[in-house]
Amino acid sequence: MPDQPAELQVHNPATEEVIATVPAATVTDVDAAVVRAARAQTAWAALAPGERARLLRRFAVTVDEHLEELARLEVREAGHTLGNARWEAGNVRDLLDYAAGGVERLTGRQIPVAGGVDVTFPEPLGVVGVIAPWNFPMPIAAWGTAPALAAGNAVLLKPAETTPLTALRLAELALTAGLPEGLFQVLPGHGPVAGNALVEHPGVAKIVFTGSTAVGKQVWARGADRLKRVTLELGGKSPNIVFADADLEAAAAAAPMSFLDNAGQDCCARTRILVERSVHDRFLELLAPAIEAVRVGDPADESVDMGPLISAAQLARVRSYVTDGLDGIRGKAPEGPGHWFPPTVLTGVDPQAPVAVEEVFGPVAVVLPFDDEADAVRLANATEYGLSGSIWTRDVGRALRVSQAVRAGNLSVNSHSSVRYWTPFGGFKQSGVGRELGPDALTAFTETKNVFISTEA
Ligand code: NAD
């Protein structure tokens, strides 16, 4: 592996200016962090549950008190619109609050047996490594961190190379709130160095990885030697299925932001718009003005719907999928500095073309016609991914049939919502392993111990 720079340069994607440089954690730094985390975890797990819950609630309150600061930092380092960034900081607060409510509810079971009593204990794993991507730096860090802490673990968070600043600030806020030193540490660094060190470290019991399917597979393989527990949240290529009986106006109005939110850098983006052939042309007529109306620009401007892509590399990747000569609808984007790409909907695309089956991770969708319900399900499932999807129909029976037939973890009917911190989230097929969020979130950070106590001795 070539030497990695000793510092991470953080850019503002809307201006390309360097806004910070951060030392990159080395393997030695990771080793030292694991030692500190293990020490802190022992004391943390021994605290009374109510005390742990109280500290996590204080952390939530502290995040809330700094919500605007965190949001503005997210705008600067990730190019998110201010509205989205405020929601993201609020999501961290809510996750901490929700997880805090789980501390005293993390109960075992009592199972009937002869000759004694059988009970189970959900015990913390120890030190958990959370490896986060750049597309939603704050929420995704918190999806792993909040329930892991609540279940009695310590957390080492490695943010993405391009977006370490909000993570570092959250670690400071944890200390301000009174969380013990060493319990929640942030290790900004390079994936193959600091990330891999967490994956291979014998003192790290579990890795929560969110990122690309290619790296997720490496993480699973490298951790397998130690049977490391993993949760993998990976890529997606989600369908938005529009049946002829749907409220077409509503479906067309909602379609743009279902794949343009966060400039399309969203694992749940509905980038394959499948439309019943009989309404295909009408749907496109309705979609065109909705796409053209999307305001792309300075993400700090509250009236903007979509900001820039994260980096020059991401812009080049997105451009490579949108070759000349493709038909479709193009929106507008600023010129000049910044990694801008216009909202783009492609029509007449071969359903097997790379842009129709691979995760572009940019503001690009394809529209593919289908003939009937069976054809819609076949097309929806014709991808290696299975993360999200939407179904637009007025027929309740069809909504349920298609929801059951589409092989994906998070579906919505007549809407595009898919992520709530109190409902489970995760992928089928190449989109991941395990679930995050929801009522069972803490359980994913425990090992079940079964104890039989004889009453006959
Ligand atoms: P990435 O896989 O390149 O990087 C993700 C993280 O892994 C980063 O922190 C990176 O530094 C680290 N990493 C890289 N190489 C590593 C290695 N060898 N060992 C350990 N860690 C390593 O992904 P990305 O480009 O940052 O994020 C975009 C991807 O994330 C997309 O594919 C997207 O779909 C996916 N994603 C999935 C979800 C989900 O919940 N399913 C959510 C958001 C993003």
CATH of the domain at 308: 3.40.309.10
pLDDT, residue 2, reads 61
What's the rounded mean pLDDT across residues 380-408?
A: 98
Tell me: do 277 and 352 sit in the same domain. Answer: yes
Q: Is residue 155 domain-shared with residue 291, that is, in the same domain?
A: no
Q: 426 lies in a domain?
A: no
Give the per-residue pLDDT at 1. 57
Provide the CATH number for the domain around residue 16. Answer: 3.40.605.10
Task: Let me know whether 146 and 207 are in one domain.
Answer: yes
Q: Whose CA is nearest to atom 15 of ligand 1?
A: 191
Same domain, 21 and 129: yes
Question: With bands split at pLDDT 50, 70 and 90, how would you rate the model's confidence at 3?
Answer: confident
Verify that 395 and 441 share a domain, yes or no.
Answer: no
Residue 15 covered by a domain: yes
Within a domain: residue 218? yes
The reply to whether 1 falls in a domain is: no
Which protein residue has the closest C-alpha to ligand 1 atom 28?
211
282 lies in the same domain as 145: no
CA pair distance 134, 228, nearest whole angstrom:
24
Residues touching ligand 1 (Cβ under 6 Å) are 131-136, 140, 158, 160-161, 191-192, 195-196, 199, 210-212, 215, 218-219, 233-236, 267, 359, 361, 387, 427, 431-432
Q: Which of 228, 267, 359 to mutate to test the pocket of ligand 1 (most atoms within 8 A of CB)?
A: 267
CB–CB of 329/292 below 8 Å?
A: yes
Whether 187 is covered by a domain: the verdict is yes
Q: Which residues contact 194 (CB under 8 A, 6 or more apart)?
A: 24, 25, 26, 27, 29, 30, 158, 187, 188
Ligand 1 atom nearest 432 alpha carbon: 41
Q: In the chain, what percentage of residues exceed pLDDT 70? A: 99
Q: Which tokens go with 274?
A: 């499948």
C-alpha distances in angstroms, 39 versus 34, 158, 172, 300, 386? 9, 19, 19, 41, 39
How confident is the model over 148-176, as a mean pLDDT?
Answer: 98
Residue nearest to atom 39 of ligand 1 (CA): 233
- pLDDT band for position 357 (cuts 50, 70, 90): very high
Which is the closest atom of ligand 1 to the Cα of 213? 32
Whole-Å CA distances, 55 to 67, 174, 179, 398: 18, 9, 6, 47
Q: Which two tokens stand for residue 447?
A: 């090992």
Q: Specify the residue with its C-alpha closest to ligand 1, atom 22.
A: 191
Distances (CA, A) of 406 to 392, 410, 413, 416: 13, 10, 12, 15
Give the torsion through C-alpha atoms of 202, 143, 380, 351, to 10 deg: -70
446 CA to middle of ligand 1, Å?
24
CA dist., res. 335 & res. 262, Å (int): 18
Please give the C-alpha separations between residue 135 and each of 243, 266, 362, in angstroms, as whole numbers.
31, 7, 11
Does residue 291 share a domain with residue 201?
no
pLDDT at 418 over 90: no
User: Residue 2 falls within a domain, yes or no?
Assistant: no
Binning pLDDT at 50, 70 and 90, where does residue 326 land?
Answer: confident
Please answer whether residues 385 and 238 qualify as being in contact, where contact means their C-beta atoms are separated by less than 8 angstroms. yes
* CA 236 to ligand 1 centroid distance, Å: 12
**Cβ neighbours around 415 below 10 Å, total:** 12
Q: Are residues 393 and 444 in the same domain?
A: no
Residues 292 and 439 in one domain: no
Active-site residue set: 158, 233, 267, 359
Q: What is the pLDDT of residues 75-116, one digit of tens each?
A: 999 999 999 999 999 999 999 999 999 999 999 999 999 999
What CA–CA distance (Å, rounded) separates 311 from 339? 6
Of 191-205, 206-220, 412-426, least confident by mean pLDDT is 412-426
Query: Among 4, 206, 208, 234, which is best to mutate for testing ligand 1, by the most ligand atoms less than 8 A from CB?
Result: 234
pLDDT digits (tens, 9 = 90+) for 180-206: 999 999 999 999 999 999 999 999 999
Q: Whose CA is nearest to atom 35 of ligand 1?
A: 211
181 Cα: distance to centroid of ligand 1 (angstroms): 27
Q: Are residues 327 and 363 in the same domain?
A: yes
Atom 43 of ligand 1, nearest CA residue: 267
Residue of 96, 84, 100, 86 whose CA lies nearest to 173: 96
- What are the φ/ψ torsions at residue 94 (nearest 5 degrees)? -65, -40
Q: Which one, of 67, 83, 85, lies nearest residue 75 by Cα?
A: 85
Supply the residue whose CA is at minimum distance from atom 8 of ligand 1.
160
pLDDT band at 336 (very low <50, low <70, confident <90, very high): confident
Residue of 185, 140, 212 whose CA lies nearest to 25: 185
Number of domains in the chain: 2
Ligand 1 centroid from CA 212, angstroms: 4
User: Cα(276)–Cα(328) distance, rounded to whole angstroms?
Assistant: 17
Most ligand 1 atoms within 8 A of CB, residue of 4, 10, 95, 131 to mutate? 131
Residue 59 counted as domain residue: yes
**Start-to-end Cα distance in the chain:** 60
Range of 200's domain? 7-234+431-453
Q: 451 by DSSP, 3-state: which?
A: strand
Question: pTM to 2 decimals?
Answer: 0.97
Same domain, 147 and 199: yes
> Do 252 and 182 fall within a single domain?
no
Q: Angle between the 67-78 and 49-65 helix axes, to the nearest 10 degrees?
A: 70
Residue 417: its pLDDT value, please? 80
In a domain, 219, yes or no: yes
For residue 236, which atom of ligand 1 is closest to its CA? 34
Label residue 4 by pLDDT band (50, 70, 90).
confident
> pLDDT by residue (tens digit) across 53-65?
999 999 999 999 9
Give the mean pLDDT of the chain.
Answer: 97
Average pLDDT over residues 298-310: 95
Question: Does pLDDT of 384 surpass 80?
Answer: yes
